[in-house]
Amino acid sequence: MNILVTNDDGINAQGLWTLARALQDLGAVTVVAPDRDQSGIGAALTLQAVVRTRDVDPPPVKGIRAIAVEGTPADCVILAAETLVSGPIDLVVSGINQGSNLGLDILVSGTVGAALQGYFRMVPSIAISVASLTNVQFDAAARTARAMAQTLLNSTSGNGFPTPLLLNVNLPNVAPDCIKQVDITRLGPRQFLENVERGTNGRATHYWIKHNKNINPAVAEGTDIWALRNNHISITPLNGLFGADESASEFQALADAVASELGIG
């Protein structure tokens, strides 16, 4: 099995390597990730400039091939699929992101932007995030990713998951034993808009765009945002959003696998 691991926090992010390590015994893991933090870049492609790559040698985790890309998360998946990885990719996992990717805010998420390119190439793709920018607890997310990957890789012979498949997973930033439930959710509304701060370097005016104006939307039960507010794990199938078939029932097996891994219920 060829597993591609990527992210948008960059090749040096702790979440990336926690994820790669968790998946390592499920197949041949290749890490292809941006060389710099690319948060906010969404599904952007680099079409106006060339993209350079660098082999990370030795890799931070022994036995895992790692390539840093001077480009976007989406670039990483495209390069991996088109040229860097030999043979077909069986699974794309993007993350583990520091900070949640919920509701329509996923449209500016590089974590989801990367997974989307796997989906477009008919590869089952997962984006996974933990809802904190600091002191992130990656343990439950790593185990969640592993349980989902295992379920999906075992099912490729066709036990019911739609093709293509795109899943957006979010976890509360708590210890594994504080998580009581795994929900199959639908995408909520935007949670954040952008603020703009004006500054100067002494010569000219500039602006900082900050994605932190919490508009604190009322959210219905069943959405990803609602699940996180209740300290549940949220698994959101994005197939429907992006044009493919989606039947909620099929996804329960994934929730069950995660619940089993975490000893819930």
Measured from the CB of residue 182, what is the shortest distance to a second copy in angstroms?
A: 23
Please give the order of strands across the beta sheet that includes 125-130: 53-55, 65-69, 28-34, 2-6, 91-98, 125-130, 166-171, 233-237, 182-184
Among 39, 125, 129, 168, indicate the residue that binds a second copy (CB under 8 A). 39
209 touching a second copy, by CB under 8 A: yes
Instruction: Tell the residue number behind the tokens 């990713």, with chain if given.
Output: 145
Among 54, 175, 230, 247, indicate the residue that binds a second copy (CB under 8 A). 54
52 touching a second copy, by CB under 8 A: yes
What are the start-end ranges of the H helices in 80-170? 110-120, 139-154
Site for a second copy in 90-109 (CB under 8 A): 103-104, 107-108
62 touching a second copy, by CB under 8 A: no
Amino acid at 180: K
218 touching a second copy, by CB under 8 A: no
Q: How far apart are CA 27 and CA 250, in angstroms?
A: 24
Among 160, 208, 248, 260, indicate the residue that binds a second copy (CB under 8 A). 208
Query: Pairing relation of β-strands 53-55 and 65-69?
Result: antiparallel
Instruction: Tell the residue number behind the tokens 């019911």, with chain if given.
Output: 160
88 touching a second copy, by CB under 8 A: no
221 touching a second copy, by CB under 8 A: no
Helix 252-262 to helix 139-154 angle, to the nearest 10 degrees? 130
**Residue numbers at the binding site for a second copy (CB under 8 A):** 12, 35-54, 56, 70-72, 74-75, 78-79, 82-83, 103-104, 107-108, 113, 116, 120-121, 133, 187-190, 193-196, 198-199, 201-212, 241-243
